[in-house]
């Protein structure tokens, strides 16, 4: 378009925020300059529904046709749009069978329908269950054809699956738990027995949804999964296609981790949701609870952006849904709505109108609302003839005993209050057990003086939004439960209450009825701006825009992630070399995998790590090979290495290489003689103190370092304690000591300055060469470990360098995609043979550790200084450095888990004759 501010020289947004702001401005620009793309008058007045509205379910909401979801009139324009596959438990239509091969379709209720009808930037398809059982193939084909005209795609679920998955697991387990009602209490034994079959049906149903998505998915589509019914779906989709753009949004509250952990399948559900690229919630509180659950239950790292698991980030954010406010504002001008308004004003003339609009549900707090109104009438007798409460309570799940009991309870309370405070001509409470049509509801909103929303727990509650949208002239007051998600958005303009506190709600009613006009106007204006700005259409467009941007960032992060080790190449190079050196870490490399959170007994096992049982035979075979030298280089104590590797013919380097021995000889130290360790006692006292005050933490006292580990402590508390410990150490015991403080993922280590695996490897290598009388140069090195960042200088120690006469270059990172073979040439430029040229690190250490030194190592032998790197004849293609489980590292390659290490060493051992 000529003249618009976006068609000049394109400026590439540099940050995520810039990209999102640009997308937002473009959406506004398109709406302003493309009025022809707005919905036509007939559709504008269609009866669309909001999440918590209680409109007539049988009302036809107008066409759900192709034009609804697409711009323009010709197919060519649609081709340029990104396709959006909306996956929800229910389709936005109700299907009624009229014959063997004919169906009648009508629009259904739902805020999601309203939200997505206005999103015209995308070519949308809706995938879900039609709400009916269609066992025959003829009926399925006919329904599929009929739904295709509405741009809907059905998922066919049989009655047993629906009973177990929907009525059982979703409505009987997840829904109560997410609303803080707990797991079913009646007949606990039966619940326990049926849980597994319900969960299996839940997973099966989610897989059926995934199969339909996979069938219709095209490259570049965005898949948007909705609600607790489909928590397993993101994992199913990603297993089918890891590059699929998947978002998941929850329309209910997400409970705190202490509530969610009650669910037997808690970990599986969380990990399944984390497979999505973007996870959305209505409020920040729900998002925070989700991140906390992932941190405390799964042991993953929570970040300000979301949840990170070994370099893979799932973004978690809050996206408050809104309503189509323009539809409500326009509806007030319609003749039929004006007639309703006039009738209501005459009916309640001289009385203030209070309104409650809810589903008749346990979480809506209807009994609490009515009891608070009763207390208000008791304490304010002057208001008894001047106020009326209209309570619309739409029946739901009428076949469930708990809901039947709630209905009886509400009727009993209403009858008692009307009998107590009513007169022959008027009653204080008008209670309706039915829904209202759209026009009647808008009129009711418009004449209301005080809206009363007392949800005990609510994902959002859009009734409050609808009330505000219809209050342009009346400027009524909103009393809103602090436990509704809408309280996060409308809290500044509403009167927030705790619905459990009956007296507080009663006093708030009095305050609202007596509120001065200027305060009412200020409160209303604040809420009205929010409701008209944060519309349902803006919510949907923002989520999809953020999802697309998240994918871009994920691709950028993926380029920084290490490529997987080309195992076959590493094994082939191993067989072709004549003098091999294998340097292996111990913890989290050669040890048995231990559950992150320390289930029963595992903490003791972690404190006493054991060699993975499947590695015993491969290691023995590798150690017996005359052309292979195996070194286990660990930060662990010498006794731990002795217990695990005493029977093998290898070299052991304990405490980051400060102690060394061949398993057939004695321990020697590589430390300088004048190393000062006077700081040990004072640091030990600090570690003891924090171990005592941090349950499930422990510390290790080594000869050259101290390590405090809080892996099994409460994650948040452990992190706070670690921060407190560091502040104490730096300002006290180690303020003038020559030490390094090394922070691990959940540990704090204090060690002498310069003590790293990389600093020690040259001396270790020199001693190995001297001891073995090695004459053939080492021409193959494999270095594998889960090392701290401080110790990753061991990877760069072996990196082949250019000859001295050439300008130095930075070691290049291999850019190949994960899992693909790498070129058989070294980094930098091709060269036939390059020797390593390294400075001896010992001289540096000797210069730094000239202290008073009353401390001496507890070993008899001290190794002499040997230049180990002089025997290296290492080509770039014969060096394999591998980080285990750490996707960002100085290593060249990645091995995902300890099991991958087992596989690699088995293959190396198998190739030996």
Query: In this predicted model, what pLDDT tens digit does every residue of 504-520 receive, in sequence order?
Result: 999 999 999 999 999 99
Residues near 894 by Cβ (< 8 Å), separated by ≥ 6?
A: 561, 562, 563, 564, 565, 818, 882, 883, 884, 886, 887
Closest of 308, 303, 244 to residue 888, by C-alpha? 308
Q: Do residues 897 and 885 touch, judged by C-beta distance below 8 A?
A: yes
Q: What are phi and psi of 908, to 5 degrees?
A: -65, -40
Domains 325-534 and 567-594+608-658+757-798+872-911 share a fold: yes
pLDDT of 540 higher than 70: yes
Strands in 10-159 per DSSP E: 82-90, 93-99, 102-107, 122-129, 152-155
pLDDT tens, position by position, 189-239:
454 457 888 999 999 999 999 999 999 999 989 999 999 999 999 999 999
Confidence of residue 867 (pLDDT cuts 50, 70, 90): low
Strands of 156-305, DSSP E: 222-226, 245-249, 278-281, 301-303
The pLDDT tens digits for 749-788 are: 898 887 778 777 887 888 888 877 777 888 899 999 988 8
CB proximity list for 64: less than 8 A, separation 6 or greater: 92, 93, 107, 113, 117, 150, 151, 152
- Cα dihedral 254→257→258→262 (10° resolution): 80
Decide: helix, strand or coil at residue 676: coil
The model's pLDDT over 302-340, given as tens digits with 9 standing for 90+, comes to 888 899 887 788 999 999 999 989 989 999 999 999 999
- Mean per-residue pLDDT for 484-510? 95
**CATH fold for the domain made of 567-594+608-658+757-798+872-911:** Rossmann fold (3.40.50)
Q: Which residues contact 552 (CB under 8 A, 6 or more apart)?
A: 19
pLDDT of residue 738: 80
Backbone φ and ψ of 435, nearest 5°: -90, 165
pLDDT of residue 193: 56
Is residue 418 pLDDT above 90, yes or no?
yes
* 527, pLDDT greater than 80: yes
| Domain positions in the chain | 83-185+193-318, 325-534, 567-594+608-658+757-798+872-911, 678-752
The strand ranges marked E within 397-526 are 429-432, 450-453, 477-481, 495-497
CATH 3.90.1070.10 for the 678-752 domain, yes or no: yes
Residues 200 and 198: their CA atoms lie apart, in Å, by 5
pLDDT value for 792: 83
Residue 252 tokens read as 């209910």
Segment among 524-533, 572-581, 850-859 with least mean pLDDT: 850-859
Q: What pLDDT score does 86 carry?
A: 94
CB of 650 within 8 A of CB of 628? no
Tell me what the mean pLDDT of segment 868-897 comes to.
82
Strand order from edge to edge, sheet including 747-752: 698-701, 705-709, 747-752, 739-743
pLDDT in tens, 236-284: 999 999 999 999 999 999 999 999 999 989 999 999 999 999 999 999 9
Q: CATH fold of 325-534, please? A: Rossmann fold (3.40.50)
pLDDT at 113: 74
Q: CA–CA separation, 106 vs 95, rounded Å?
A: 7
Q: Is 532 helix (H, G, I), strand (E, B) or coil?
A: helix
pLDDT, mean of residues 89-108:
85
Residue (of 170, 313, 183, 312) closest to 250 by Cα position: 170
Q: Are 299 and 522 in contact (CB under 8 A)?
A: no
pLDDT band, residue 1 (cuts 50/70/90): very low
Question: Which pLDDT score, from 0 to 100, does residue 346 have?
Answer: 94
Instruction: Name the CATH code of domain 83-185+193-318 (choices 3.40.50.2000, 3.40.50.720, 3.30.450.70, 3.30.360.10).
Output: 3.40.50.2000
Mean pLDDT of the chain: 81
């Amino acid at each position: 378009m000529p003249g618009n501010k976006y068609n000049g020289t394109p400026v590439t947004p540099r940050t995520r925020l810039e990209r999102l702001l640009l997308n937002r401005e473009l959406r506004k620009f398109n709406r302003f300059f493309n009025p022809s793309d707005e919905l036509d008058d007939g559709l504008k007045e269609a009866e669309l529904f909001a999440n918590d509205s209680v409109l007539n379910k049988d009302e036809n909401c107008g066409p759900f046709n192709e034009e609804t979801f697409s711009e323009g009139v010709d197919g060519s324009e649609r081709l340029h749009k990104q396709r959006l596959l909306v996956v929800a438990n229910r389709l936005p239509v109700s299907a009624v069978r009229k014959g063997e091969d004919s169906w009648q379709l009508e629009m259904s209720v739902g805020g999601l329908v309203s939200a997505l009808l206005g999103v015209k930037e995308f070519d949308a398809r809706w995938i879900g269950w039609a709400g009916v059982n269609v066992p025959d193939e003829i009926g399925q084909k006919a329904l599929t054809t009929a739904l295709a005209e509405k741009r809907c795609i059905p998922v066919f679920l049989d009655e047993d699956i629906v009973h177990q998955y929907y009525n059982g697991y979703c409505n009987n387990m997840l829904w109560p738990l997410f609303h803080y009602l707990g797991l079913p209490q009646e007949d606990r034994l039966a619940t326990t027995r049926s849980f597994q079959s319900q969960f299996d049906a839940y997973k099966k149903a989610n897989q059926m949804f995934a199969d339909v998505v996979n069938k219709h998915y095209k490259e570049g589509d965005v898949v948007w999964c909705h609600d607790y019914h489909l928590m397993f779906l993101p994992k199913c989709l990603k297993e089918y296609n890891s590059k699929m753009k998947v978002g998941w949004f929850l329309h209910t509250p997400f409970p705190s981790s202490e509530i969610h952990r009650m669910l037997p399948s808690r970990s599986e559900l969380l990990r399944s949701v984390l497979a999505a690229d973007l996870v959305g919630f209505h409020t920040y509180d729900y998002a925070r609870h989700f991140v906390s659950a992932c941190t405390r239950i799964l042991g993953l790292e929570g970040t300000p952006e979301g949840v990170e698991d070994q370099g893979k980030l799932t973004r978690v954010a809050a996206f408050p849904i809104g309503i189509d406010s323009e539809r409500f504002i326009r509806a007030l001008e319609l003749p039929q709505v004006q007639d309703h308004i006039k009738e209501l004003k005459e009916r309640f003339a001289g009385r203030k109108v209070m309104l409650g609009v809810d589903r008749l549900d346990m979480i809506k707090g209807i009994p609490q609302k009515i009891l608070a109104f009763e207390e208000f009438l008791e304490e304010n007798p002057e208001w008894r003839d001047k106020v009326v409460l209209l309570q619309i309570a739409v029946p739901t799940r009428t076949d469930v005993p708990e809901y039947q009991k709630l209905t009886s309870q509400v009727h009993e309370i209403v009858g008692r209050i009307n009998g107590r405070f009513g007169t022959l001509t008027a009653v204080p409470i008008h209670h309706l057990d039915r829904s209202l049509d759209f026009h009647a509801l808008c009129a009711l909103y418009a004449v209301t003086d005080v809206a009363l929303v007392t949800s005990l727990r609510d994902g959002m509650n859009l009734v409050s939004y609808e009330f505000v949208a219809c209050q342009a002239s009346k400027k009524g007051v909103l009393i809103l439960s602090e436990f509704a998600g809408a309280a996060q958005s409308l809290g500044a303009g509403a009167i927030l209450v705790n619905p459990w506190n009956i007296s507080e709600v009663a006093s708030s009613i009095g305050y609202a009825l007596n509120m001065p006009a200027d305060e009412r106007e200020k409160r209303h204006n604040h809420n009205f701006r929010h409701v008209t700005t944060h519309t349902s259409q803006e919510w949907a467009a923002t989520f999809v825009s953020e999802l697309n941007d998240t994918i871009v960032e994920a691709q950028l992060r993926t380029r920084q992630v290490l490529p997987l080790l080309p195992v076959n190449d590493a094994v082939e190079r191993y067989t072709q070399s004549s003098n091999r050196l294998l340097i292996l870490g111990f913890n989290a490399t050669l040890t048995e995998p231990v559950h992150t959170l320390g289930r029963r007994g595992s903490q003791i096992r972690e404190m006493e790590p054991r060699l993975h049982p499947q590695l015993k035979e491969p290691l023995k075979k590798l150690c017996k090979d005359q052309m292979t030298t195996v070194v286990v280089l660990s930060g662990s104590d010498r006794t731990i290495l002795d217990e695990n590797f005493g029977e093998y013919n290898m070299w052991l380097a304990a405490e980051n290489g400060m102690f060394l021995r061949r398993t057939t000889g004695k321990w020697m130290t590589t430390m300088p003689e004048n190393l000062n360790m006077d700081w040990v006692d004072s640091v030990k006292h600090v570690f003891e103190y924090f171990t005592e005050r941090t349950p499930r933490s422990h510390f290790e006292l080594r000869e050259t370092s101290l390590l405090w580990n809080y892996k099994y402590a409460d994650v948040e508390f452990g992190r706070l304690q670690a921060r407190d410990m560091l502040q104490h150490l730096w300002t006290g015991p180690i303020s003038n000591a020559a030490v390094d403080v090394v922070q691990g993922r959940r540990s704090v280590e204090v060690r002498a300055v310069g003590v790293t695996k990389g600093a020690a490897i040259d001396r270790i290598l020199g001693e190995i060469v001297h001891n073995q009388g090695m004459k053939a140069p080492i021409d193959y090195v494999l270095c594998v470990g889960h090392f701290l960042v401080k110790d990753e200088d061991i990877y760069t120690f072996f990196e082949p360098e250019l000859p001295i006469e050439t300008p130095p270059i930075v070691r290049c990172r291999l850019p190949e995609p994960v899992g693909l073979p790498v070129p058989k040439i070294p980094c930098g430029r091709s060269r036939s043979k390059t020797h390593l040229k390294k400075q001896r690190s010992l001289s540096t250490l000797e210069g730094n550790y000239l202290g008073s030194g009353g401390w001496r190592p507890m070993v008899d032998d001290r190794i002499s200084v040997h230049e180990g790197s002089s025997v290296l004849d290492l080509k770039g293609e014969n060096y394999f450095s591998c980080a285990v489980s750490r996707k960002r590292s100085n290593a060249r390659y990645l091995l995902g888990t300890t099991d991958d290490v087992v596989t690699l060493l088995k293959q190396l051992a198998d190739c030996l004759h």
